[in-house]
Amino acid sequence: MKKIGILNHEISEVIAKMGHTDSIAIGDCGLPIPDNVRRIDLALVKNIPSFIDTLKAVLIELKVEEVVIAEETIKVSNFVYEQIEKEVGDVKITIVSHEELKEKLKDCKAVIRTGEQTPYANVILKSGVVF
């Protein structure tokens, strides 16, 4: 049995397989996930697990060099943007339209669906390297 880090085997597996510039997304429960992209569904009930708790867990294990966020997140749910900014620290943040973010999901290794019900609580994390 795994002692530390992410216990969900699907998330752990995807992170372990990621290389430089590969990406993974974390989304609210309404984010449309393309059929050809792996869906890791964590949603249980409203807001469980939360978007930010899921992001924090992933950031423990994944080296991130860039974060992609929709401009609608800043406009509609600015507190979510502020939380993301706090958690990622000095990592580059790229702002795109929500439509463009949804298009970029097609290139993700997986999308983690949370129970979050805050509009535009979505992010794409681009993997960095640890050396």
pLDDT tens series, the chain, 131 aa:
888 899 999 999 999 999 999 999 999 999 999 999 999 999 999 999 999 999 999 999 999 999 999 999 999 999 999 999 999 999 999 999 999 999 999 999 999 999 999 999 999 999 999 99
The catalytic position among 9, 16, 17, 20 is: 20
- 20 counts as catalytic: yes
User: pLDDT tens digit string along 46-73?
Assistant: 999 999 999 999 999 999 999 999 999 9
- The reply, when asked if residue 9 is annotated as ligand binding, is no
Strands (E), the chain: 23-27, 38-41, 64-70, 92-96, 110-113, 123-127
Report how many helices (DSSP H) and strands (DSSP E) the chain contains, helices first: 5, 6
- Position 62 scores a pLDDT of 97
- The reply, when asked if residue 16 is annotated as ligand binding, is no
- The Cα-based distances of 65 to 19, 45, 68, 93, 94 in angstroms read 12, 31, 10, 9, 11
- Position 111 scores a pLDDT of 98
- The reply, when asked if residue 90 is annotated as ligand binding, is no
- Position 1 scores a pLDDT of 84
- The reply, when asked if residue 122 is annotated as ligand binding, is yes
Considering only the C-alpha atoms of the chain, give the largest distance between any 2 of them, rounded to a whole number of Å: 43
pTM here? 0.96
Residue 16 and residue 13: Cα distance in Å, rounded?
5
Instruction: Tell me which amino acid residue 72 is.
Output: E
9-127 under CATH 3.60.15.10, yes or no: no
